[in-house]
Structure formats: C-alpha cells, structure tokens
Amino acid sequence: MDTSQIKQKLESDEYGFLRKDQNLGSNIILLALGGSHAYGMDKEGSDIDIRGIAINSKNDILSGNDFMQVADTDTDTTIYSFNKMVKLLASNNPNTIEILGCKPGHYLYLSAAGRELLENRKIFLSKLCIHTFAGYADSQLRRMENKAARLTGQEQNEQHILKSINNASYDFKNKYFPYDESSIKLYIGQAVTEGYNSEIFMDICLKHYPLRDWAGMWNEMKAITSSYNKIGKRNEKAVSHNKLGKHMAHLIRLYMMCIDILEKEEIITYREKEHNLLMDIRNGKYLDSNRQPVKEFYDLLNEYEKRFEYAKNNTSLPDVPDYKKIEEFKIYINEKVVTGGWDLCMH
C-alpha cells in the first residue's frame, strides 16, 4: 500500500476519531507513518502505524491542562499533544524523536506549525541520545538473546547487566537526590556466589540520603538484573512467530540512527542506504536452521558498537539540549494558538 492509498484510508470511518476527537481534528499539526514503513523495513502485510502531534487547545494552554496523547489500538495510531511531545523530544526518546526524521513522502499531513517543528528539530539533539538509544538497544538486544534461548557465557552476561545499569544510572541525577558519583561504585570481580565465575559487586557510601530515592534507584537496578533471567510470554511469542529477525534488524537500526545523530546531527528515520542489509537481517539471513542468531550477526553488531563508541567520543553535540531555545519555541507555538495565529484547518 503506497502513501496515497494510506492517505485515502485515513479518510475512512476507521480513522474517524482523527476528525471527531475533541483534542484532534483541526488541532493536528503532523501525521506520519511509523513503525516498519517509516524505517523502510515493511513487508507485504506489514501493519500501518500512524504517529502524530496535535497542538494543545487554547483552553488547555491557559488552564495548564494537557491531554497528553490519544491512542487508538485498533488502527495502531498514537497522537501526542504538542506539549508532551516537546518533553519527549528534549529527552531524545528514540521512539518519538524519529518522527522528526521521516522520509518527506511519509508525512501524511503537515500544517504550518508542523513544518516549523521539523525546521527546528536540531534544537532537541544532544548527547542524551547516547544513553537513550544505546541503553534501549543494549537492553533489548540482551532480551533478544533470551528470546533466542542463546546461552551467553555467565561472565559476558554480567558485563551486559552492568552496562545496562550504567546506561540507566545516567539519568539518576535528574530523578533522585544528588550524590557524589564516587559514593556508588559497581564493578565486576571474582564471584563469591556459587555457580558463578564472576559477578557484579558494589561499594556504597551514602550518608543522610533520602531512603525513598535510594529505594527508587535500587528498584531500577533490580529490575534490570531480573530482566536478564527471564523469558517472558512476549519473548516466547516472538520465537514461536519467527519474529527474531525483525527484532535483530530494529536493534541494528537503532545504532544506525544514533550514529547519524552523533556524527551528522541529523535524524534519519528512513534507512534507504542500509535497506538491503536490514531486510536481510529481518528476513532471517543471520539466523541458523534452529532460528538462532549466527556469529556473523554478532560480528556486525560489534562493528556498529565500535562505530557508536567512536561517534560518542567525537561528537560536537552539547551534553544536553538547548532548553532555553526549546522553551522559547514551545511558547512561540502556544502563543500563536492563544492569539489565533494559526490557520487550524486539517486538509
């Protein structure tokens, strides 16, 4: 199904909520393809995912309310409020920042406000992507190894757990009461636990530290550690439906996108140049006869991890986004809503 057919489909009763929902309709400023279609990794029969943004109404802006998002599960459609999307973009959230880098033809609707958002997309980019993209990719990849029932070495597994915790802890300083980085040290040493060759140890020295903040950090670390020991129902479903190749392809794509952000300061969602490679991975070229990832896949992954390491050490991106510019842009858009400066008419 090409984009013209998808646009026609959006006019059907199935997508009537886009026009009837009180928070959508003329408030929509951007509609785009999401998922496999957005990445150029769709196959015959691939689901159509729609992602979009709607500006907050005048009443919501003045009252401080926010509808946050409208999700329709039947059509795999999610429309975020402008104010919520700004926060997600500033955090370099991988699942939302991709909406700023779609192929031009994949924008199914763009208002003047939507075009201005795309034109200002670089104000959201920062080194935060190192931790959001890599953290997401790393944790998902290791879960994928569980899905494949591939037994990694116990020592290697400990390294993966520590790496995931380190990625997650990057955001601790924004979530919890401040502490000196030397107060919490995690490292791998010779195991004292029976059945382990090596394991993660901790040296912790916190004084007069809020218990609830420590409990929050501890729970996050515990959740990460526990996730490596599980094969949940969703994982089993992925194996039984032969979706492993799809997961593998999307994980490599995450590294591709983050490297572009770090090296080129560009968001490239549609992977035209790497299309053949990603489709080979998705179609099972890197799986053996038992549906297990082959060595060549891990060699490929290692190559992208090295490129990512180099890119993150040499990027010219700021540590955090330009929050002042982001806030000014948010005020500019919302002010025009309040004063009636936008032509709110979805075509």
> What is the per-residue pLDDT for 242?
59
pLDDT at 270: 97
State the DSSP H helix or E strand holding residue 53, giving kind and residue range, or none if neither: strand 49-54
- Report the alpha-carbon distance of residue 186 to residue 158 in Å, rounded: 11
- Split at pLDDT 50, 70, 90, the class of 61 is very high
Average pLDDT of span 282-301: 88
* Helix, strand, coil percent content, the chain, rounded in steps of 5: 55, 10, 30
For residues 244 and 246, what is the distance between their CA atoms, to the nearest angstrom?
5
- The SS3 of residue 2 is coil
Whether residue 24 has pLDDT greater than 80: yes
* pLDDT at residue 211, rounded to an integer: 95
What predicted TM-score, i.e. pTM, was given to this entire model? 0.75
Residue 138: the pLDDT is 73
pLDDT exceeds cutoff 70 at 151: no
Burial class (CB in 10 A: 0-12, 13-18, 19+), 255: buried
Find the length of the chain. 347
* Both tokens assigned to 13: 């009763």
